[in-house]
Amino acid sequence: MRATAEEPRDRRSGARGSAVDVRTLTRVLFERMAELPPDAPERARVRAALIEVNIPLVRYAATRFRSRNEPMEDIVQVGTIGLINAIDRFDPERGVQFPTYALPTILGEIKRYFRDNVRTMHVPRRLQELWVQVSGAMEELTVVHGRAPKVPEIAANLRIPEEDVRACLDAGRAYNAASLEAAQEHEGGLALLDRLGYEDSALADVEHRDMVRHLLVQLPERERRIIMLRFFANLTQSQISTELGMSQMHVSRLLARILTRLRTGNSWED
């Protein structure tokens, strides 16, 4: 039992050690690449080694898009482009860990892929082009501030109106259309289709009202008025008797007679 209990601990220790080794190797490779001239053949080999060592970071980022119904290999390839861009732009002197710097760049590249190639809604070309600048500024500001930037910060960085930034953010979401039948967590689990409208119970009575209206026009004026006062004005028999100047008993007999005729659909007979 002791050996079994220690095995997961050893695996966790191995995983932590592997992560430390990757960070250490990444740092050493960046230090070596900084020492080499841009045109040195060895620099290309060091760069290739940096890409290979950090591919697990790309795979980690790609798992966030597992639900997008795109082949995972394609997403990893796109994320690798972001990794390469991060390697080429990374400055070890800034004191930021490479994974912290690279992850927003990798995610941004994958999001651009979905935005430009898997879009389900049409977005004006001007916003598509401006979104490239906005997403780039978001990545840079995320690294600088250590958090997602706010709209005013992005607008100030690009020197564009905040309304344009908001329009770009909305356009960036256009690659993914929500299903009408999908449950919305922030709406208590109700689907969008459930919130678009409701069934009006009064619709079932339209046909009945039309039939009653057809029958009412066949009634004499006094009887038609009794029905209107009783069922449309909601007056009691006592109030109707006062209104029409007749006894309540007489009103009751007339109502019974009228309703019988209306139920059977027979024409009125004196």
pLDDT at 58 (0 to 100):
94
Query: What are phi and psi for residue 86, nearest 5 degrees?
Result: -65, -40
In the chain, alpha helices (H): 2-35, 41-53, 55-62, 72-89, 98-117, 125-145, 151-158, 162-172, 192-195, 206-216, 221-227, 237-244, 248-264
pLDDT at 154 (0 to 100):
92
pLDDT at 198 (0 to 100):
54
Is the model's pLDDT at 254 over the cut of 60?
Answer: yes
Residue matched to tokens 């999908």: 182
- Highest mean pLDDT of the ranges 2-16, 88-102, 110-124: 88-102
Structure tokens, 238:
């006592």
Is the model's pLDDT at 197 over the cut of 60?
Answer: no
pLDDT at 151 (0 to 100):
92
pLDDT band at 3 (very low <50, low <70, confident <90, very high): very low
pLDDT at 6 (0 to 100):
44
pLDDT at 7 (0 to 100):
41
Percent of the chain surpassing pLDDT 90: 19
pTM of the model: 0.42
Q: How far apart are CA 90 and CA 51, in angstroms?
A: 13
